[in-house]
């Protein structure tokens, strides 16, 4: 998935459905993301030097990437992301609803720029 840390997302499934927040961390191997204020649970901790009082700590747990939708800053709607090549040869993410760019994925490569030039001249 093309989501990144710092993106605004909409939760589309689960107990927090309909809430919008920011992605804090992404675990690509597990296919999960930690989203600010979403999927909060209570963790019961025993008294220790780190937690002298013990008790219940409220913390955020990772949520499945399939339960999140990218919120486009341009159109303000939840949409899917696509990847395309720019004329300069860089790869960028874009909103599938309005077509605006959502940031560069990888910088331009000489091979991509040459390929783009060949395709355009044919």
Name all domains of the chain by residue range, CATH numbers in brackets.
1-71 (2.30.30.30), 74-122 (no CATH)
Query: Does the reported pTM lie above 0.75?
Result: yes
CA distance linking residue 112 with residue 90, whole number of Å? 8
Mean pLDDT, all residues of the chain: 88
Name the phi and psi angles at 117, rounded to 5.
-65, -40
CA distance linking residue 105 with residue 117, whole number of Å? 20
DSSP letter (8 states) at residue 101: E
pLDDT in tens, 7-56: 999 999 999 999 999 999 999 999 999 999 999 999 999 999 998 999 99
pLDDT at 104 over 70: yes
> Per-residue confidence at 1, pLDDT binned at 50, 70, 90?
low
Beta-bridged to residue 85, according to DSSP, are 91
């Amino acid at each position: 998935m093309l989501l990144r840390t710092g993106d605004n997302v909409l939760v589309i499934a689960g107990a927090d459905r309909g809430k919008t927040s920011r992605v804090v961390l992404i675990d690509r191997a597990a296919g999960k993301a930690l989203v600010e204020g979403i999927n909060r649970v209570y963790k019961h901790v025993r008294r220790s030097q780190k937690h002298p009082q013990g008790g219940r700590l409220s913390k955020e747990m990772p949520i499945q990437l399939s339960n999140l939708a990218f919120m486009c800053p341009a159109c303000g709607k939840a949409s899917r992301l696509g990847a395309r090549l720019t004329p300069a040869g860089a790869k960028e993410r874009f909103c599938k609803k309005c077509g605006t760019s959502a940031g560069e994925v990888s910088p331009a490569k000489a091979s991509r720029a040459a390929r783009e030039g060949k395709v355009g001249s044919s």
